[in-house]
Amino acid sequence: MFTQCQACTRHILRLFAFTVLCVLGLSPSVQAAAGTVEARTFLDFHDRAPFTPPPPGQQWNHYTLSNASDGLQIELKDELGNPTGIQFSWQKLPGWSTGMQNVSIWSSLTPNDIQLNAFDHNLTAQTSGEYIELTGLVPGRAYKFWLLTWTYPADFRTPKPFEVTGGGGWTQLTTPPDTRLAINGQVGDTARTFDSYAIQFDAAGDGRLELRTSTGQFTGVFGFVIEPVPEPTTGLLLLSLSAAALLRRRGDSAQSLV
């Protein structure tokens, strides 16, 4: 009977420790402290200030028509206002002007778990060879990426696809014709989550991602979102090892009493 009670005690301790680890592992505060939560970085295109404010508690990066005309490179901050080490620019060919339109995202096409109404302008991709460029990505690090675009009907202007460099196996992004919101080339749908549209890629050795226009006539670009994929960290690993060591000590103590 005594041995059975000791076995029950060990089982209860294991179950309790496992429960604690699960709760702590799912806790946003613990994940943040351990470095397992990554903030998204938003960039929207605008003709000029003032900008439509992002959702409360978020900070977005703004890129204006004059920025694009000059090919200006800007340093990006994440939605919490922290520097990301990532730089962005829109590069036009010499002698070509940059276009921008005041077109808003339709709420009827917006995923159900995110606010995108601050994407209410867009730069126009109309020249083959112009490109979106991100630098400063961590080589080999996994990222999630979302490009938000729209297009005219094909009988008016055919969509202009983007050729992707630095995206691993991801090599092209094309927006369907007559689409008022596409996320990574897929039509927006309120029945889907924003994360379900994500393209995940491993950053190239030079830390650079390029989306360059090729054929076609027109694609409007509202902006993009990028998010580092969380990496395993030592914080939760050490917590797990400590719990395992505690269980072993408890088991050894219980055996010595039998």
Q: Distance (Å, rounded) from C-alpha 201 to C-alpha 182?
A: 19
117 has pLDDT over 60: yes
Task: Find the range with the poorest average confidence among 89-98, 115-124, 138-147, 175-184.
Answer: 89-98
Check: CATH 1.20.120 for 38-228? no
61 has pLDDT over 70: yes
Taken in order 73, 57, 222, 182, the sign of the CA dihedral is positive
Q: What is the mean pLDDT of residues 60-73?
A: 90
Task: Find the range with the poorest average confidence among 88-102, 115-129, 211-225, 235-249.
Answer: 235-249
What does the pLDDT look like over 40-51, one tens digit per residue? 999 999 877 778
Q: Distance (Å, rounded) from C-alpha 137 to C-alpha 143?
A: 9
28 has pLDDT over 50: no
Q: What is the mean pLDDT of residues 177-182?
A: 96
Look up residue 112 and give its amino acid. N
Taken in order 203, 205, 210, 216, the sign of the CA dihedral is negative
Q: Distance (Å, rounded) from C-alpha 85 to C-alpha 98?
A: 26
- For the chain, give every domain's residue range: 2-31+234-257, 38-228
**Of all helices (H) and strands (E), which one includes residue 65?**
helix 65-70
Count how many Cα atoms sit within 13 Å of the Cα of residue 131 in the half-sphere of its side chain: 16
From residue 218, alpha-carbon distances to 74, 121, 154 in Å are: 25, 15, 10
